[in-house]
Amino acid sequence: MPAGFYPHDAKFLVAVDCIIFGFKNQELSILLTRRPVEPNKGEWSLMGGFMDENESLDKAAEKVLFRYTRQKGIYMEQVGAYGEVERDPGDRVVSVAYYALVRLEEFDTTLASAFDAKWVNIHQLPRLVFDHNRMVDDALQLLRFKVSLQPIIFEFFEGKFTLPSLQDLWEAIYQMPVDKRNFRKKIAAMGILDRLEIKDKSSSKRGAFYYTFNRQKYDEFIASGNRFSL
């Protein structure tokens, strides 16, 4: 890359850190790893890496996510930039955080051991390196906002889900109970789900029907002047 027009301006590193959310066993968790290098080697950290000269921030985030999950097409969104001068004792580093929603059904558990990583409940997080705890707090706040206004909650599921599991996820994200009847009434009123003729009987003999999110019905719902609210 040529020197460009700013030879006398400061140069510093740009990093990407990813808050990787996953949902399983009624828990919302984040994938953490032991930091492999100094400074703060061995301490708990988010998944991250540096942006290369010839890639965008989004591409850098996709690179990090694929490295640690081996999944492509993961839903992700930028949380914000973190540029305190002393945030990283190793060098002058500006980090841009992204949150991502991973479908744990597709997650290769051997990857966690390969990277000395583990899934941790969001309410049992250890102290993380640098300003990573702040990134998690900001990401969770943004996730809650987006879940209330956009149908991104369905990104946590691989194809189908039950209404009890959807409610469990909502309660895990917001950390508060919700009335089952009102929750289902609100979803039914939007008419954006398709019920399948198969049931999940893992938790009861009666079982619960599986549903799928119908993108076409959602688009028609929004085009008619309605607003998604969950």
The pLDDT assigned to 40 comes to 95
Whether residues 140 and 172 share a domain: the answer is no
Distance CA 50, CA 16 (A): 6
Domain contains 101 = yes
If one compares 205 and 1, the residue with the highest pLDDT of the two is 205
pLDDT one-digit tens code per residue, 63-84: 999 999 988 899 999 999 999 9
CATH value at residue 45: 3.90.79.10
How many CB atoms lie under 10 A from the CB of residue 40?
Answer: 15
Whether residues 90 and 119 share a domain: the answer is yes
Whether residues 180 and 192 share a domain: the answer is yes
Residue 31 · residue 102 · CB < 8 Å: yes
Whether residues 30 and 143 share a domain: the answer is yes
Domain contains 8 = no
Rg (CA), the chain: 20
The total number of structural domains in the chain stands at 2
Whether residues 158 and 216 share a domain: the answer is yes
Domain contains 6 = no
pLDDT one-digit tens code per residue, 144-153: 999 999 999 9
Structural domain for 129, as ranges: 13-149
pLDDT one-digit tens code per residue, 7-61: 888 888 999 999 999 998 899 999 999 999 999 999 999 999 999 999 999 999 9
Domain contains 7 = no
